Amino acid sequence: MLKKCIALLAFCCAPFSLLAWGLVGHRAVARIAENHLSSAAKREVARLLGTETLPLVSTWADELRGDALYANTTPWHYINTPDGLTLPAFTALLNATPLPAVPTNAYQALLHMRQDLKDPKKSDAEKLVALKFLVHLVGDVHQPLHVGGHAEDKGGNDIKVTWRSKDETNLHSIWDSGLLDYTGFTYTEMAADYDHATPAQIKQWQKDDVTTWLFESYQLCPPIYASAATNPKFDWHFYPTFGPTTQQQILKAGIRLAGELNELFK
């Protein structure tokens, strides 16, 4: 039954908006990560990227949409999950089946990218693709609706809301970009403003495993859905309520991305 459940969760959603954090958010995550790379990680990242940078490749995985060669990567950006799971039940759901050869959700995709970057048999070209996906997917899974979204409403895409009393949009879009655009920051400004984790926070966040990252995002979803159910007309109260959550998640994503790269390239 559990195998059937996770297969359903991976495939029952039709393609929808996958731009978690949008361009500014993803690049801010990557910029924060750059600030916390070890010397060894900096060298290997620079070698693989060549003339590119982590911020500039952070949206590459979204830019592939529409390319037939990468059509199978659409489900890699999210995983829809049922409500009310405890951490053990959530972990069991994520690991209900052996890791497939081709990922079917964000969790599996992250594990695959890790494997490819550690595999000495992989070419630099293959490792470059894995690095670009890893940078993006770490950001994706820190956007709550990319982990705790409901399949029946396409991760909040089918929940219509009004943003700041004038713009008709949907709940997912608000979390992908609306809350970030509200700040008016460029990605460099956002990274500079958000990147103030304490040494203790950095140590703990980089110690957390991927399951913990996803479960944190999952736990943030109930109040997000409740906000739309209570009043879908989001006004000036919305950013003070949820802005700190987006800031914390982007910061965590950047710190954890750096931790992953430091570990992979040490």
Distance CA 259, CA 105 (A): 22
CA distances from 39 to 44, 191, 266 (A): 9, 20, 9
CA distances from 205 to 76, 78, 157, 177, 247 (A): 23, 21, 29, 24, 15
Residue ranges in the chain assigned as alpha helix (H): 2-11, 22-35, 39-49, 54-57, 60-63, 87-94, 106-118, 124-140, 171-173, 179-181, 187-194, 199-207, 210-230, 238-264
Say if CB 47 and CB 71 are below 8 A apart.
Answer: no
Amino acid at 182: Y
- Answer positive or negative: Cα dihedral of 84, 171, 251, 44: positive
State pLDDT tens for residues 25-43.
999 999 999 999 999 999 9
Q: Is the pLDDT of residue 2 over 60?
A: no
The structure tokens listed for 128 are 């470059």
Q: In what order do the strands lie in the sheet with 167-170?
A: 167-170, 160-163, 233-234
State pLDDT tens for residues 40-95.
999 999 999 999 999 999 999 999 887 888 888 999 999 989 999 999 999 999 99
State pLDDT tens for residues 156-203.
999 999 998 777 999 999 999 999 999 999 999 999 999 999 999 999
Q: Is the pLDDT of residue 6 over 50?
A: no
For the chain, give every domain's residue range. 2-264
User: What is the average per-residue pLDDT within 207-226?
Assistant: 97
Q: What percent of the chain has pLDDT over 70?
A: 93
Fold classification of 2-264 is P1 Nuclease (1.10.575)
**What pLDDT band is residue 3 in, cutting at 50, 70 and 90?**
very low
Lowest mean pLDDT among 65-74, 211-220, 237-246: 65-74
Q: Residue 163: enclosing H or E segment and its boundaries?
A: strand 160-163
Q: What percent of the chain has pLDDT over 90?
A: 83
Q: What pLDDT, on the 0 to 100 scale, is given for residue 130? A: 98
Lowest mean pLDDT among 72-86, 105-119, 209-223: 72-86
**What pLDDT band is residue 245 in, cutting at 50, 70 and 90?**
very high
What pTM was estimated for this model as a whole? 0.91
Average pLDDT of the residues of the chain: 91
Distance CA 203, CA 105 (A): 27
First-to-last CA distance in the chain?
A: 41
- Answer positive or negative: Cα dihedral of 54, 55, 58, 59: negative
